[in-house]
Structures are given as structure tokens and as C-alpha cells.
Amino acid sequence: MSVPIKLKVNGKAVAVDVDPRALLVNVLRDQLRLTGTHVGCDTAQCGACTVHLNGRAVKSCSMLAAQVQGGEVTTIEGLSAADGTLHPMQAAFRECHGLQCGFCTTGMVMSCVALLADNPKANEQQIREGLDGNICRCTGYHNIVKAVQLCQTGKIPVSA
């Protein structure tokens, strides 16, 4: 048995039939082929599956797809401009080397965008606290914090 849901994903109207038990992360990846959202822990501990739902950061591995009926979802694929220009946070991560293996990066970027939307003048401690719930096993967070701080300045160099 499947349930029809309608929502907006990355600015586009989507209608999809889902298993009532299907998690949002699986629908995004398997049915909509938006594979930038990663499945890490399946327990909402690591944050690799973070997306924006109605402008708020949520962990898509802990939400049923049916719960987002009528909502607006933005994934990492939806942050970039239509011409491929990176979102300032994505550019800041690149500039500050805020990633290594890249597995957590999409969830980190989505969380950082939401963090600055809620608190544009966050200090270092607030940034670190805001990243609680996103696990990176590679970077030690230093360069991720630097990326958020660079994004706050609005002075991100454009690379070719």
C-alpha cells in the first residue's frame, strides 16, 4: 500500500507515492534521486541526512516522508543557483577546506546555513554549539567553524 504525497523539493512541485513507513531520506535518495543527502547512522545522531523542511534544518532519517505532505524541502542540490554557482556556505567550505572525506559535508553545510539564518552574528562558541548533532570524523571542526565565520563576512573569493 502506498500513500500519495505532494510537496516542493528544491523549488519544484513533486507528487510521489510512498510507503507509509518510508523515511524522508530514503524517498529523497531512492525515489527522487537526490543522493547528496547521505544516510549515516539511521538514528538522527550524525546529521549527514540534514535537509531543510519549511526553512528549518531537520534530520531526514528521523522523519516519515508522509509527514512532509505539503511542505517545502531543500536538499544540498537545491542550495546552488540554477547556473551552478555555489551557495556562499558551499563556497566557504571549499575555501576553508571544511571537508575531508566529504561524507558529512552536505549535512554540515545544510546545518550551517540554518544556523546563520537563525543567528547571523553567531560567535565561535555559538557556531560550535549549533553544530552539535552533526558528526565529522575527519576535520576536528576547526575548518568548518572557519567556513561559517568566512560566510558571515560575505567576503568569499570566487574561484574559477
Reply yes or no on whether the pLDDT at 157 is more than 80. Answer: no
Each residue of 74-132: pLDDT tens digit? 999 999 988 989 999 999 999 999 888 888 899 999 999 999 999 999 999 999 999 98
DSSP 30-90: IIS--TTSPP--SSSSS-TTEEEETTEEEEGGGSBGGGGTT-EEE-GGGTS-TT-PPPHHH
pLDDT at 137: 82
pLDDT at 158: 65
Domains of the chain, earliest start first:
3-77 (3.10.20.30), 88-153 (1.10.150.120)
Q: Are strands 72-74 and 56-59 parallel, antiparallel or unpaired?
A: unpaired
Alpha carbons 71 and 67: distance in angstroms, whole number = 9
Each residue of 13-61: pLDDT tens digit? 999 999 999 999 999 999 999 999 999 877 777 888 999 999 999 999 9
pLDDT at 107: 93
